[in-house]
Amino acid sequence: MRIIGISGLATATLVICGSAASRSAQPPADEVTRAQYDTWMTELSNWGRWGADDQLGALNLITPAKRVAAASLVERGVVVSMARDMTIERLDDPQASANRPPVLVGSTRNVFDINTDGGYFWERYEIEYHGSAVSHLDALCHVAWEGKVYNGLDFEAVASKEAGCTRMGVANLREGLVTRGILIDMPGRAVRRQDIEAWEVETGITISSGDALFLRTGRDVGQTGGYHPSLIPFFKERDIALLGADVPQEGGRVQGVTVPVHFFALVALGVHLFDNLGLEDLAETANDLNRWEFMFMASPHVVPNGAGSAINPLAVF
């Protein structure tokens, strides 16, 4: 992975982000009240929009026409990975941890095999992809809000230690994901509606139904940021289909709500999330080409009853 310094993106970021450096100080990060958040979770919900039995959520917005339009964005055939490199540990007795890197459990090398007259090598890894270490996709059964997952199903009836996710799991995405991807490159800030609307004016790109929206916060060059919770109505209004960032999404808190973007996207909207993406190479390519939209492709592992998947999404220019 190429890591580009902050100075390497400073000029482009100022141009793209609507003169971010000249804006006034941001309002307090807790500007969304709990009462407002509770109202949004109900009034902006997609529950029932595609029927009581729906398990795809906002993926229903990615129509065949949307895929064709996404394919038309390919001009140069340039492909960029959107995954972070995995840091592999080798432990004799690994302990469970939400932020633990993948563990090499065992490996074998045979220099000669009587059946093949050759050599071979294989490995077995144990990956806890949820957390903040591994690029991954969250299925709709991953989190619950007040005992419910997307479409109003009871969390206890959907997910269990013994059976996994009997509904709303990652296997529903077996056909893969293809749509228009959009990169917003705004490192070091909690991104709000006014930031994105100014970005749209300057780039001429309008975020629209069925899009996959991605945010580079600059995590890999020492920056912090994410989607501010005040953006929640924007996600609904624009009918985004997928949401992702180089962090686990959150750019602010709501009192009593630990991960407001996670809860709202997965539970209320049925929007699958991409956490911990590697977006430095994508930002560099987008800056070089001055293009912030691309064909987005992702193919999660088809894990029966799985709550998500480690993943290597692709941007094609």
- Examine the domain organization and report whether 108 and 146 are in the same domain: no
- Examine the domain organization and report whether 149 and 263 are in the same domain: yes
Q: Please give the pLDDT value at position 128.
A: 82
Mean pLDDT in residue range 295-307: 95
Total number of domains in the chain: 2
Least confident segment among 25-39, 124-138, 219-233, 256-270 = 25-39
Confidence of residue 86 (pLDDT cuts 50, 70, 90): confident
Task: Spell out the residues 6+ positions from residue 77 whose beta carbon is closer than 8 angstroms to its own.
Answer: 316, 317
Q: Please give the pLDDT value at position 15.
A: 32
- Examine the domain organization and report whether 298 and 188 are in the same domain: yes
**What are the CA-CA distances from residue 123 to residues 51, 99, 110, 111, 112 (Å)?**
43, 22, 12, 15, 17
- Examine the domain organization and report whether 214 and 298 are in the same domain: yes
Confidence of residue 14 (pLDDT cuts 50, 70, 90): very low
Mean pLDDT in residue range 51-63: 98
What does the alpha-carbon distance between residue 223 and residue 151 come to, in Å, rounded to a whole number? 36
Query: For residues 103 and 131, is the Cβ–Cβ distance under 8 A?
Result: no
- Examine the domain organization and report whether 191 and 140 are in the same domain: yes
**Position 220 in a domain:** yes
**Position 55 in a domain:** yes
Q: Report the CATH number that the domain containing residue 49 is assigned in CATH.
A: 3.50.30
**What is the average pLDDT score of the chain?**
86
**What range defines the domain where residue 302 resides?**
6-84+135-316
Q: Is 154 helix (H, G, I), strand (E, B) or coil?
A: strand
- Examine the domain organization and report whether 235 and 284 are in the same domain: yes
Confidence of residue 262 (pLDDT cuts 50, 70, 90): very high
Q: Please give the pLDDT value at position 147.
A: 94
Residue 133: pLDDT over 70? yes
**Position 1 in a domain:** no
What does the alpha-carbon distance between residue 82 and residue 280 come to, in Å, rounded to a whole number? 8
Token pair recorded at residue 268: 């209320």
Confidence of residue 99 (pLDDT cuts 50, 70, 90): low
Q: Please give the pLDDT value at position 126.
A: 77
**Position 95 in a domain:** yes
Residue 282: pLDDT over 70? yes
Q: Please give the pLDDT value at position 111.
A: 58
- Examine the domain organization and report whether 111 and 232 are in the same domain: no
Residue 92: pLDDT over 60? no
Closest CA to 126 of 165, 98, 94: 94
pTM: 0.85
- Examine the domain organization and report whether 120 and 205 are in the same domain: no
- Examine the domain organization and report whether 302 and 186 are in the same domain: yes
Closest CA to 41 of 193, 246, 192, 259: 259
Q: What are phi and psi of 198, to 5 degrees?
A: -65, -40
Residue 104: pLDDT over 70? no
DSSP strand pairing (136-138 vs 308-310) = antiparallel
